[in-house]
Structure 1
């Protein structure tokens, strides 16, 4: 199951959004480890294998949610 991750970055009007193949618990653990180190770097990998690196000191917020739950269109229930 994939999860959608949204990262708010200080002094940036847009958030960084990606879909990760990892489960939510693993993403939470990765984020908390990066934030605990203070001067560390948050490293996540998206569905396509691209790595995303964000300086932990610049992270304003991280939102983790299920990517499967979003349905758009006329058939959405």
Structure 2
């Protein structure tokens, strides 16, 4: 599943591929922002860790976990 995070004063968004089974990532982000935590820690599917300043987060978009089909369907 992909998650896109828009950051203030940045023309690009941060796209992170999360491992399967992390459907509650939006609630984790919301708790970090509303709880006044200065940073948000996320880990992607490859094990890379991200440390994001919560005061710079503008929006968060969560993609679907379903795989896209390619080609002709019958």
TM-score for both structures, normalised by structure 2: 0.81
Contact 1:24 1:65 in 2 (8 A): no
Q: Distance in 2 between matches of 1:69 and 1:76?
A: 15
Structure 1 pair 68–59 and aligned structure 2 pair: CA distance change class (3 A): same
Structure showing greater radius of gyration is 2
The gaps in structure 2 that reach 5 residues or longer are none
The gaps in structure 1 that reach 5 residues or longer are none
1:62 pairs, out of 53, 60, 63, with: 60
Report deviation, 1:39: 4.5
Q: In angstroms, what is the RMSD of aligned CA positions? A: 1.9
Secondary structure of the corresponding residue to residue 66 of structure 1: coil
Secondary structure of the corresponding residue to residue 33 of structure 1: helix
Q: Any residues of structure 2 matched to 1:1-77 within 5 Å, and which?
A: 3-21=1-19, 22-25=21-24, 27-71=25-69, 75=71
Secondary structure of the corresponding residue to residue 63 of structure 2: strand
